[in-house]
Amino acid sequence: MEPTHKLDVLGHYCPVPVSKAKKALTDLGEGDILMVIADDPETMHDMPVLVARLGHRLVDVQQSAGEFQFIIEVC
């Protein structure tokens, strides 16, 4: 699934990554795919909770070299 939008929150820590992701998801339309790139370990817990709360779908999570990539489908 190829992202249609990208949000880079590297270097930001709680609550900034989740707050910016929430705003980005709110601005997107159904079927859009958002890739969020973060390095705050808390996002591994917080991002799935946010996605579920907003009713979207967490398609994939990847971790590499201290960075996390979340692929979210807007529903």
Q: Which of 8, 10, 13, 14 is catalytic?
A: 14
Q: Kindly state the helix (H) or strand (E) to which residue 24 belongs, with its residue range.
A: helix 16-27
Active site residue 14: yes
Dump the DSSP string for 32-65.
Answer: -EEEEEE--TTHHHHHHHHHHHHT-EEEEEEEET
So which residues are the catalytic ones?
Answer: 14
